[in-house]
Amino acid sequence: MYKIMIECLDVAPGSGPQAAIDIEQEFRIHRTWHERPSCTYANGKLLLIARNNFDADGMALLDEFWDCLAAYLGEHGPMHILGVEQV
């Protein structure tokens, strides 16, 4: 199992908190192959943390996070994989 942490920068304060709620719910309800999703907003950043058993480099979660950001935010800043750890 891998625990993956990804951030998205330059998220507007007016839309960030609601986007965090919407994205977390999207993963909980529709993308259940990623376990324990958590999405939070602080200081212009969205942080997504999730676990799965197939994404050793975090790229699958990054791709799905990008899809959600496009749907819920439209424009956003750069995204970075902060870490992938085996748990």
**Correct CATH for 2-86 of 3.75.10.20, 3.30.420.80, 3.30.70.100, 3.60.15.10:** 3.30.70.100
> Whole-angstrom Cα distance, residue 75 to residue 33?
26
Q: In the prediction, which pLDDT does 10 show?
A: 95
- As to burial, measured by CB atoms within 10 angstroms (0-12 exposed, 13-18 middle, 19+ buried), residue 22 is middle
The string of pLDDT tens digits covering residues 37-78 is: 999 999 999 999 999 999 999 999 999 999 999 999 988 899
Identify the CA nearest to 44 among candidates 14, 71, 22, 68: 14
The string of pLDDT tens digits covering residues 10-24 is: 999 999 999 999 999
Query: What are the residue boundaries of the structural domains of the chain, listed by start?
Result: 2-86
**Prediction pTM value:** 0.95
Exposure letters 47-84 (e unless 16+ CB within 10 A, then b): ebbbbbeebeebebbbebbeebbeebbeebbebebeeb
